[in-house]
Structure 1
Amino acid sequence: MAQLHRYYYHHYHRFLNSFRQKSLLQCHNFNLVNNYVINNMKRHQISTSINTGILLSSNDTLNQYHDISRSFITPQHQPNDQIIYQDDTAYESFISHQEIRNRQQNLILLVCEHLRKIQSLTLKNSSPLILIATPPPQYQGNTMIPVNECKQNSDFTYLTGLHSGTSDQLTSNCVLAIFLENPDCIDSHRSIIFSSNRTKSEKQWHGPELSVQYEQWLKQISDDCQPLTELVNFLNKQIKSYRRDLFISRKTLEYRPELVTNLKFYLKSATTSSFDNDVEKWSTSLGRTIQSVNIRDISIFIDKLRVIKSSQEVKAMKRVGHIGALALNNTIEWSRRLFSTINHNDNPSFTFVESHIDGKFNFESKLFGARRQSFPSVCASGSRATTIHYGRNDHIITRNNDDNCWILTDVGCEDVDGYSCDISRTWPIDRNRDDDRFQLQSQLYEALIGIQHELINSIIVGQTSLNDLNELMLNIMARILPEFKLFDEFVSKEDVRNIIKRLCPHHVSHYLGLDIHDTPTISRSSPLLPGMCFTIEPGLYFPAQGLPIKPEFRNIGIRIEDDIIIEPGNKLIIPLTNDCPKLFA
């Protein structure tokens, strides 16, 4: 054990020395610096004994098991096992400060163009002011310990490069302002970040002020940093100086209602959408009018930029897809071996629960370089797979229960830049099952994989939309599913399509990026263009009752989901999550 400690001590300090010599601005997720030592030790096996325990990877062959609180399991690597290695770029930020500045500039230009079209006004008469706020601090229980897994406002991440894994000082109590310093000059855009300052007591409890690296990053992606207490004075000054159109998002209204109520101006909403209702929610009982200000929704303009990924974003999407796919593959293999081992040994001391699969994926994805899970995992065994957003993950998985033969997993993780993957697989956890129901579900799942393959091959860049893919999925299912003779005899061909809509009630696709359901204001009827990233996820969910299907099909839920990106330039349709097999022997 002493040798092991010396080994890590030696590599840790060797890493720190090399890290100081590199440009720290290449990775502005500076809280991950200590974890970066793993990346520096590339080509070393991650599964290594730590203290008295083991980091269990899917390379481990479980040849013994004791109590769950003491995992003294010795890994024995087989010749064909995949050893976990981290890529050199696992913790490297692909998003440069120049790209962040370009995003801010493109947004203000897009907004100015919109104002000119709808108002026919010169910049001298109207000037936009954009406000993007972070969520308030979130704490676990009454401990006042910040929750590290909270989700950042993805618009804020897109325009600053800062997210929930960087610094809680910059991911809560923070507002980004983008505006034209000189309304007569469209090139005079500026950005200011308003953040809270910590007291001495807060520094002791939650950490010191910004590090030098953060200060350098902020100087590169903004023109000024000011205390959050100056925000209201800044806004009042801006509104008094010029006629402003205030662009804010729904999340900003939710996070920072004082941006409206404390200014005490007369709200003259300029939209006709439900955004008006959100504005009214915060505009009651306002005081004396200062000046007429239009309140507009910024979300659609940001989404127009976000839906088309840059070349650097494409790299980030490829990375996180690779991380998630490998992590899920390792999780599946580990779970199947564990299930086989504990049932073979007939060991009643271990209770295998769905949440173990969830925890294993979280563990594996972070070993590969993920920062966090991108949403609560779905790990549904048996009939629970018919619940599309099943998230309890608390059911015990046993061999004796016929209901637990198959597992549906829907999981995802985020990389260090905040980009997400979203993967679903349905797989048999029991290697020894081969009964009729098992064969039936296997055939259904293989048919679903074929449907997904046909959908991907049907994409024509610039023409096909996500809604087209959904319509095609329903047509294919209406053609294929009757061959399984799953419907009762009295069901007509006309009724089949309506039943299929209930068997697969969700859309076959959604956009993907910094959010799992990315850019929600972009219509799914829009043609798919180079730079767009999206999912293909056909599913079938046969309920226990309520539909005219035969009994042997009931309580079966299956889904297959992969992430796709259209490469800018060559327009190639690239699957991002193929590193996780679709079928498991």
Structure 2
Amino acid sequence: MASPCVARARLPRLYQLPLLFSASSSSCSASASCCSSSAGTGSITNNVPHKKLQQGPQQQQQAVRAYSSAAASAASAAASARHATFKKGGLGGEAIGGTGSSRTSRVYGQPLPHTHPHLFPRRSPGEDDLMPATLGGPHNFFLPTTDGTMTDPGLVGVAYDELTPGITAAEYEARRRTLMASLPDSSIVVAMSGRVKIMSGNIFYRFRQETNFWYLTGFQEPDAALIMEKNSGPRGYKMTLFVQARDEHNETWNGPRTGIDGAQDIFGADEALEMDPTSLLSHLKQILPQYTHIYVEPPNAPTNPRTTSASRSKPNILNFLAPPSPTGYDVFPKKSDFEAVVKLLGDTRRCHSLAREVERFRVRKSPAEIRAMRRAADVSAAAMVRVMGYQALHRARHGASTPVSEAQLQATFEYECALRGAQRPAYVPVVASGANACTIHYVNNDNLVGPGQAGMVCIDAGCELDGYASDITRAFPVGADLGGRFNSAQRDLYEAVLSTLKAVTALVSAQSGYSLSELHRRSVELLRQELNAIGGFQLGHDVLERSLFPHYIGHFLGIDLHDTSSIPRSTRLEEGMVITVEPGLYVSEGDARFPKAFWGLGIRVEDDVLVQATSQVVLSANAPKEVADVEAICQGFFEPEIELRRVAAAASSASGEKKTRRRSSASSAAGPVPPPGRPAEASLG
């Protein structure tokens, strides 16, 4: 485990609220630089995921000095904040809002360390070897004891300082303060939560929180609102949370709610109010005119109340404020208030996009976020290995003549992810066999894979773990005819894509000065060169991008799969960003530019890559992609059950041979065996 930062060891836990980013720009502040400096020799490469980075003494001293200043400022601000009045024991002991016993007996609307301790493990030092030393451990600070000394949090067992798994209450507070510090005076922020989405009738989808709302609060219940008003107080802003009140009848059906007291005690609100359209509407009508700058997600049609179930499922502010049905609009008792608020939200001189402001900070990940994304990538990588080896296992169990379906491979991936703690798939998986892989977003996943097929499967899948997404694509050979090996055409095309992936990944660093757009242009040129090397295929850039490589080289990754959509692709890569790198080649059936052996091959290989100052870390490095590794997995060499079956078969074969030899020896000693029906002759001796 990395040594704790010196500055952190000097401060009690309740004052450890560092600014994650500079208030004046999106550049990373001391908190991130303290744990994530530029890599020198020994940096992690895309194929050596567990080698630790080294940090020079000069960089360490600079980081500590910078952090000391930020930490001192954070300590002053935190002293007066309600949420930062944790006592010893944090959320699990005698904490804000009541005694330890009363807190422990309460159940809230989401998992917390004292209600679900198994979801909030204090990471052991050994687990930190998965991450670079400069990123620090999951909880890289010391805890105060009763005598004022500091103790290693790795010995505590439960991460009571975390609000959601892996992310502390302090970090959520730092996110809010960083955002508010970056906004001009006389600013107000209004962020709406997500809403329960309906599939059909009264059948609902599993709830997922609106991204920016979750990033700022960690609050995971629907139908809530966050209001932050910038002021000159020690905290820098006033925080108001509108949440659903406790309701015995509703909670009997839908589970517990955090309620108004929990919104203050646990989520740090200065004020908490019951969420209903009229109360929020009245509150906004009262406070919005007081501010010059309003940061909210403006509705697409600010003059119209909600009219459809589809619009009601979106976190549009008018969906929370308008009357329950269009027919009731004319007799809506708060009609004048509604129209006044709509007018304010329609004023483009005062109303600004909240997402654009938040995503300036979201695009660069904190050390805690990077660790969460590495865990998500590791879970998906482990599931990907099981998918690659599934057909070999299936053949061992049921024989080579029994086909495997794309749906079985999808189910295997999702099951293996859930088994390792993932809450949901990050997106609908692509499990495309044969020519289906030439459809970029093929999600039917309803075809058979073998027997007798000499094809490939391209699987693009990832999980969401503790709020963060992973996104991995691998391609591998299928069909008993191949025996788990690439044929020559498959290997040529696969190695062309893999070589491009490696070359583009090597360009990913802040120092290189590349943007996603420039990486894409470079990937097109590299693929063109690879195709020329395979068989002299002379293809122009326009042809390549139009048919053989029609998608982009990658995207930002984080809480959302296509994260921070307001950040242009032309943005230079900065330290702490996470992107995907996913080159691909797709040769459709009947493409006369290629020999028939290439027809119907769709190959994409994708990794999740962390941008560092002078290098990169491939977060998904545990998902094998080298030809030899992929073939070994497809042949079942890493599947324990297949190995056991092979050992048992070998033992059975050896045992059978021994019995045959024994019978043969006994027969020789006793003389020839008489024909059936005739007695053996007596020995003359």
TM-score normalised by the chain length of structure 1: 0.70
Instruction: Give CA deviations for 1:394-420 in whole Å, capped at 9, x if unaligned.
Output: 112221345xx211111111112x011
Structure with greater Cα Rg = 2
Pick aligned residue for 2:482 from 433, 439, 453: 433
Q: Distance in 1 between matches of 2:273 and 2:457?
A: 51
Q: Do the aligned partners of residues 190 and 370 (structure 1) sit closer, same or farther apart at CA in structure 2, a change above 3 Å counting?
A: same
Partner of 1:395: 447
Report if aligned partners of 1:437, 1:552 keep a CA contact under 8 Å in 2: no
Find the counterpart in structure 1 of residue 624 from structure 2: 581
Correspondence for 1:206 among 254, 261, 264: 254
Q: Which moved more, 1:24-33 or 1:379-388?
A: 24-33
Is the CA contact (8 Å cut-off) linking 2:425 and 2:463 kept in structure 1? yes
Native 8 Å contact 2:164 2:218 kept in 1? no
Secondary structure, aligned partner of 2:227: strand
Do the aligned partners of 2:240 and 2:270 also contact (CA within 8 Å) in 1? yes
Specify whether residues 177 and 336 from structure 1 end up closer, same or farther in structure 2 by C-alpha distance, changes over 3 A only.
farther
1:574–1:250 Cα change, 3 Å: farther
Match of 1:14 in 2: none
Q: 2:297 aligns with which of 224, 228, 249?
A: 249
Does residue 510 of structure 2 align to residue 461 of structure 1? yes
Partner of 1:525: 570
- 1:327 equivalent to 2:383? Answer yes
Tell me if structure 2 keeps the 8 A contact 1:353–1:396.
Answer: yes
Pick closer, same or farther for the CA change 1:92–1:227 going to 2, 3 Å: closer
**1:22 & 1:334 partners in 2: Cα distance?**
50
Alpha carbons 1:232, 1:259 under 8 Å: kept: no
Deviates more, 1:425-434 or 1:543-552: 543-552
1:134 aligns with 2:193: yes
Q: Which amino acid is 2:524 matched to?
A: L
Aligned twin of 1:46: none
Determine the structure 2 residue equivalent to 1:318: 374
Q: Displacement of 1:564 after TM fit?
A: 0.7
Kept in 1: contact 2:407–2:445 (CA 8 A)? yes
Residue equivalent to 1:479: 529
Secondary structure, counterpart of 1:152 in structure 2: coil
Does 2:428 correspond to 1:376? Answer: yes
Provide the secondary structure at the position in 2 that maps to 1:30: coil
| DSSP-derived class of the 2:404 partner | coil
Structure 1 residue runs without a partner (length 5+): 1-18, 44-86, 113-122, 164-169, 264-282, 488-492
Which residue in 1 is equivalent to 2:270?
A: 223
Contact 1:340–1:430 under 8 Å retained in 2: no
| Structure 1 segments of 4+ aligned residues over 4 angstroms from their partners | 19-29, 31-40, 87-92, 184-187, 211-217, 250-254, 259-263, 285-293, 434-437
Give the C-alpha shift of residue 545 in structure 1. 4.5
Match of 2:677 in 1: none
CA contact (8 A) 1:261 1:286 kept: no
Contact 1:343 1:399 in 2 (8 A): no
Q: 1:424 to 1:290 in 2, by over 3 A?
A: closer
Cα deviation digits, residues 6-44 of structure 1 (max 9, x gap)? xxxxxxxxxxxxx9789999999518999865998x99x
C-alpha deviation, 1:329, in angstroms:
1.2
Once the two structures are TM-superposed, the CA of residue 95 in structure 1 deviates from its matched residue by 1.1
Pairwise CA distance, 1:289: 9.1
User: 2:182 aligned with 1:110, yes or no?
Assistant: yes
**What does residue 296 of structure 1 align with?**
352
State the SS of the aligned residue for 2:295. Answer: strand
Seen in structure 2, the aligned counterparts of structure 1 residues 196 and 328 have a Cα distance that, compared at 3 Å, is: same
The amino acid that maps onto 1:496 is: G
Aligned to 1:3: none
Note if 1:450 corresponds to 2:499. Answer: yes
Deviation at 1:232, TM superposition (A): 1.1
Structure 1 residue 290: Cα displacement: 7.5
Aligned partner letter, 2:229? F
**Shift in alpha-carbon separation, 1:179–1:535, aligned structure 2, 3 A:** same
- State the number of aligned residues: 462
Q: Calculate percent identity across the aligned residue pairs.
A: 22
CA apart distance, 1:135: 2.3
Q: Describe the shift of the 1:431–1:35 C-alpha distance in structure 2 as closer, same or farther (beyond 3 A).
A: farther
Matches of 2:115 and 2:320 in 1, distance apart? Answer: 41
Q: 1:309–1:533: 8 Å Cα contact kept in structure 2?
A: yes
2:405 to 353, 366, 373: 353
CA deviation map 1:520-569 (0-9, x unaligned): 111222221111111111011112256743333221100000001124xx
CA displacement 1:164-185 (0-9 Å, x = unmatched): xxxxxx1x211111112x4x66
Asked if 1:407 corresponds to 2:457, the answer is yes
Decide whether the 8 Å contact of 2:524 with 2:544 is kept in 1.
yes
- Deviation at residue 438 of structure 1 after TM alignment: 2.9
- Bigger shift: 552-561 or 455-464? 455-464
CA contact (8 A) 2:260 2:273 kept: no
Structure 1 residues 233 and 421, CA gap change in structure 2 (3 angstroms):
same
Separation of aligned partners in 1, 2:295 and 2:489 = 54
Alpha carbons of structure 1 residues 336 and 469: separation in structure 2 relative to 1, 3 Å: farther
**Deviations 1:245-271, CA, capped at 9 Å, x for gaps:** 2211268984234279759xxxxxxxx
In structure 2, the gaps of 5 or more residues are: 1-90, 125-156, 303-313, 324-335, 632-685
Quote the Cα distance in structure 2 between the aligned partners of 1:315 and 1:288.
41
Q: Distance in 2 between matches of 1:91 and 1:105?
A: 17
TM-score by length of structure 2 reads: 0.60
Name the aligned partner's letter for residue 189 of structure 1. Answer: Y
Question: Does the 8 Å CA contact 2:260/2:272 hold for their aligned counterparts?
Answer: no
Residue 411 of structure 1 aligns with an amino acid whose one-letter code is A
Report the residue type matching 1:129 in the other structure.
Answer: I
Q: Kindly tell me: are residues 251 and 456 of structure 1, through their superposed partners in 2, closer, same or farther at Cα, counting changes over 3 Å?
A: farther
Range that drifts further, 200-209 or 316-325? 200-209
